[in-house]
């Protein structure tokens, strides 16, 4: 009887250990993402600003084609006699030689980063990272490869990806700062 109970307990716990459950905060961030998407699609008080790098597509020495575009989705309203702005989302397209990339940065109404999606192809397999934040710190990361459709889950940024993560988070912070001092 003890052996049957032990076996049942192992069979019950093994899937939970092998397939960790997504944190509940991820659902809240996804709901906010979809709400922002609906606001953008409905043009519901959303202002869209675009910034282009090398819009003509002229070749860059030793790289070839090098182009980029950032789209800022935000709103503005009068509060207490001043104009208050809220940045909701930034999308970035990059095209540099063999490297093709797309990023999305999602912010809460206070301007705090909630989510980063970083997708790129560097001549080969398409890679996709999704990074979820809580209090400015990453708490859940998924990584997907196009060929295998295998999804890897991490509950912290893996050390091996720390340099790329640092650059991506730098993009999020730099773009937000660019938005805050924007000429548009």
Residues 129 and 113: beta-carbon distance below 8 Å: no
pLDDT score, position 20: 56
Question: Is residue 88 one of the residues assigned to a domain?
Answer: yes
Burial bucket for residue 78 (CB in 10 Å: 0-12, 13-18, 19+): exposed
Is the per-residue pLDDT at 146 higher than 50? yes
Question: Is residue 7 one of the residues assigned to a domain?
Answer: no
Tens-place pLDDT, residues 100-143: 889 999 999 889 999 999 988 777 778 888 999 998 888 899 98
Question: Is residue 11 one of the residues assigned to a domain?
Answer: no
Q: Which residues pair with 118 in a beta bridge?
A: 103, 129
Question: Is residue 97 one of the residues assigned to a domain?
Answer: yes
Structural domains of the chain, count: 1
Instruction: State the residue range of the domain holding 71.
Output: 23-180
pLDDT score, position 104: 96
Copy the structure tokens of residue 17. 């250990």
Question: Is residue 3 one of the residues assigned to a domain?
Answer: no
Question: Is residue 94 one of the residues assigned to a domain?
Answer: yes
State mean pLDDT over 32-41.
95
Q: Give the residue from 118, 121, 119 showing the smallest Cα distance to 96.
A: 121
Percentage of the chain exceeding pLDDT 70: 85
pLDDT score, position 184: 58
Average pLDDT, the chain: 81
State mean pLDDT over 37-50.
91
Question: Is residue 86 one of the residues assigned to a domain?
Answer: yes
pLDDT score, position 106: 97
Question: Is residue 18 one of the residues assigned to a domain?
Answer: no
């Amino acid at each position: 009887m003890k052996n049957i109970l032990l076996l049942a307990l192992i069979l019950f716990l093994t899937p939970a250990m092998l397939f960790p459950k997504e944190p509940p905060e991820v659902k809240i961030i996804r709901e906010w993402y979809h709400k922002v998407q609906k606001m953008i699609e409905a043009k519901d008080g959303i202002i869209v600003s675009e910034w282009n790098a090398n819009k003509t597509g002229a070749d860059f020495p030793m790289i070839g084609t090098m182009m980029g575009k950032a789209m800022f989705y935000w709103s503005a309203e009068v509060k207490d006699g001043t104009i208050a702005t809220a940045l909701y989302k930034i999308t970035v397209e990059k095209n540099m030689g063999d490297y093709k990339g797309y990023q999305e940065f999602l912010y809460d109404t206070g301007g705090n980063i909630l989510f980063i999606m970083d997708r790129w192809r560097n001549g080969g397999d398409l890679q996709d990272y999704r990074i979820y934040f809580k209090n400015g710190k990453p708490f859940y990361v998924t990584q997907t490869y196009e060929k295998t459709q295998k999804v890897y889950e991490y509950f912290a940024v893996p050390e091996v990806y720390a340099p790329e993560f640092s650059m991506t988070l730098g993009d999020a912070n730099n773009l937000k700062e660019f938005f805050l001092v924007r000429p548009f």
